[in-house]
A and B are shown apart, each in its own frame.
Chain A
């Protein structure tokens, strides 16, 4: 079988130092996105385990798969979780979730947890959309903006390029810096235009790395336009799949002349993490704790 360059490696994590059976509140969040899905489980607000997997053509199944994978080997079962919040494109199709909250609210909340209360501007680059979010010190959304139609398909666009160039998607960022000098960006409007431009450049004999650099900087440029429309307040953080692509992130930083906060977790789990934090708050509400 042909290698699938576009596929992000799936991953999971368990905090070995937490005994979940002693936990008071076990909450979880499941983020079913257009390209990937994540599940995060918190024990008393501490990150216990998570998974990051591919979204399939059936959202309930994708949710199930993410949850199963997160719980794998932990001894925890679905019934042990007190509250689950669904988020992402498929949020209403998470069969075991009690409530759905949008990925915009969840990413802000998750980023607040991941990066600390100083985060004010979050850029979430997902498979289909790109969102610029402003939040307060609690991770509450104060304003947000989504890409216009012509700039849709950010994450999917990266996949298209991974395939086109036969470069594993996780390698793209690094390789995009293996160039002598920064080339002119390709069309920053549209994934389709960008692809046809890239094919032209490759046929002209451009090395893959250079084409990749041209695409990453086009993407960065497009995202910066979105960010500038809402305004970038410090601190600034990036979440979602493309946050893992340093080729884009570093170029965004360069254009904005602002350094993004360093992630300590897998940036793709921000949405599910936020959902799990909301789930915790909802349990507390139910129990009259707040």
Chain B
């Protein structure tokens, strides 16, 4: 029996297909503005490997900002619950989940059963972590994927206002003109985002173990800054951006069994 979890995120559509608790297919596609089109494409990608067709899916659960677009889903769930489910399955010891995406960040406290105890989502004024790194990479004239490794070379912390991405940007411009080294600025950018995320996570209290998921978890510079800030080890699943989709797939599996 095949089931799927679909995460219609701000930037990507991600699909996970599982059978008997095992991931057998995944697909990720830039969502663009034609969400339905991207959705079909991502689904197609995910079904390539197991060589199945949409009719073979006995249950589909959708999550993410665009979950309403998945009209063939039997159920929907929020990213908060999806993450809780996924991480409880992957790392049963996890009590705090931090999820950082392109636009939104969230922190979730869960118990040993994966039940959500408390959660926080970044406020309007602290949005845009992902976008911020992108524009800053541009200002520094380096490819986005080099931002992380570059910042690891820095030995110096440059304080920067953290709350708002736009204010932070004007500080970055000042730093550039004050001739700070690129690696120090890259680190300052990551420190600022980490600071913002940590601030939100502290709201719900950091209880170990702590997991980090979402696309930004792939940025080694950010991970380093966040670890330093929170003073905890971070468990990061292999494909951290698929965590919500996986959580949704887990729910789909339960439902399919008649749970």
Contact = CB atoms under 8 A, between A and B. Distances in A.
Interface of A: 6, 32, 34, 56-59, 89-90, 92-93, 127-129, 149-150, 152-153, 156, 159-160, 190-193, 195-196, 199, 202-203
A57 B131 contact: no
B139 interface: yes
Contacts of B128: 192, 195-196
A160 B169 CA distance: 13
B66 interface: yes
Contacts of B67: none
18 contacts: A34-B139, A58-B176, A58-B179, A89-B173, A90-B177, A129-B170, A149-B164, A149-B167, A150-B164, A192-B127, A192-B131, A192-B165, A195-B131, A196-B10, A196-B128, A199-B10, A199-B33, A203-B35
B103, B131, B142, B167 pick with most chain A CB within 10 angstroms: B131
Given A192-B127, A192-B128, A203-B66, A59 B166 contact: no
B239 interface: no
B33 A128 contact: no
A89 B177 contact: yes
Nearest to A211: B33
Contacts of B135: 156, 159-160
Contact of A57 (B125, B140, B169, B170): B140
B182 interface: yes
Contacts of B169: 128, 152-153, 156
Given A160-B131, A196-B103, A59 B179 contact: yes
B257 interface: no
B166 A57 contact: no
Contacts of B182: 57
A18 B63 CA distance: 66
A234 to B, nearest CB: 31
Nearest to A34: B173
B238 interface: no
A125 to B, nearest CB: 15
B166 A191 contact: yes
A149 B33 contact: no
